[in-house]
Amino acid sequence: MTFSIVARSADGVAHGVAVASKFLAVGAMVPAAQAGVGALATQSYANLAYRPQGLALLATGVAAADVVAGLTAADPGRSQRQLGVVGTTGDGATFTGDGCHDWAGGVAGDGYAIQGNILVGPQVVDQMQAAWLAADDPRLAYRLLAALRAGDAAGGDRRGRQSAALLVVAKGMGYGGTSDTVVDLRVDDHPDPVGELARLLDLHTLHFERPDPQTLLELTGPLADEVRGLLAAAGHPARDASAAALDAALAAWAGVANLEERLVPGRIDPLVLAQLRGGRSG
């Protein structure tokens, strides 16, 4: 009743899961990930105990294929289970019990595992694999989404669409550097859940992704004057003409607009500038 991909980033830093299904709130059931450890997806009459047990095994250095073998061997309901696992190194691993509803199956390779059941056919998994291998975005969330969108476009769950989710973890890369959760987005009930998930990821990127240092603009001269005027018009005037006062006023506005993750003293992210010029205040 689901199609999913579990994978790690090309640099091995991040792990994540993307999943979609004709099932209410699939993100509450299928995905699990732990920074520096790995990720897994349990589906087709999901065994939620696989999530903590699988991550615990990965944390001790057990390879993905051995995690899959261990979890399913100990499960009397394994014939109706489907499972994908990826660790910090090596190939991912996937399992499809012989009692899963057709079409059901999966593929795995270096750093990923893709699986699905009650699909329109094997083309769903095939297209997901092709999209994963072709994607060159270094951000794991967008690469996972590309695979999920390819599966959805290929027909996905033969019963239809309802929910989707995206989970990505990496050590210290979450909000404010105080969390390992980079992305945790869910669409629980929607006529186009994968499309809605893509929209949410773009919003998440705007608000919570750190800026690209190469694109930052120096807050000096006419640009500083413009920003100072825009902030005053938005109700956040700088207390004086100093650069420090301008940084403080920009930080006050950005905190209201939920753009604080994109702040760099003395400079401004072009995406932040665009939001400020557009009159966005929160």
The whole-number pLDDT of residue 280 equals 60
Which token pair is 134? 């072709």
User: What is the tens place of the pLDDT at every residue in 24-59?
Assistant: 999 999 999 999 999 999 999 999 999 999 999 999
- CA-nearest of 153, 175, 188 to 22 is 188
State the pTM of this model: 0.92
Whether 253 has a pLDDT exceeding 90, the answer reads yes
Q: Give the pLDDT mean for 256-273.
A: 96
Q: Give the pLDDT mean for 151-160.
A: 94
User: What is the tens place of the pLDDT at every residue in 186-237?
Assistant: 999 999 999 999 999 999 999 999 999 999 999 999 999 999 999 999 999 9
Helix 243-257 and helix 221-233: axis angle, to 10°?
50
Give the Cα separation of 37 and 183 in Å (integer).
Answer: 16
Give the Cα separation of 23 and 144 in Å (integer).
Answer: 20
- Find where tokens 């009692």 sit: 99
The whole-number pLDDT of residue 48 equals 98
CA distances from 241 to 222, 228, 246, 263 (A): 13, 9, 7, 19
The whole-number pLDDT of residue 1 equals 61
- The DSSP secondary-structure symbol of 211 reads P
Whether 282 has a pLDDT exceeding 50, the answer reads no
- Find where tokens 């329109």 sit: 120
Whether 281 has a pLDDT exceeding 60, the answer reads no
Domains in the chain (CATH in brackets) are: 2-208 (3.60.20.10), 213-277 (no CATH)
Calculate the average pLDDT of the chain: 96
Helix 243-257 and helix 270-277: axis angle, to 10°?
70
Give the Cα separation of 56 and 93 in Å (integer).
Answer: 16
Q: Give the pLDDT mean for 100-112.
A: 97
Give the Cα separation of 248 and 3 in Å (integer).
Answer: 47
The whole-number pLDDT of residue 279 equals 77
Percent of the residues in the chain that have a pLDDT greater than 90, as a whole number:
98
Helix 64-73 and helix 50-59: axis angle, to 10°?
140
pLDDT band at 139 (very low <50, low <70, confident <90, very high): very high
End-to-end CA distance of the chain: 38
Cβ atoms of 20 and 114 closer than 8 Å: no
Cβ atoms of 202 and 149 closer than 8 Å: no
DSSP string, 149-191: HHHHHTT-BTT---EEEEEEE-TT-SGGGS-SEEEEEEE-S-S
- Partners of 84 in the beta sheet? 41, 94
Whether 73 has a pLDDT exceeding 90, the answer reads yes
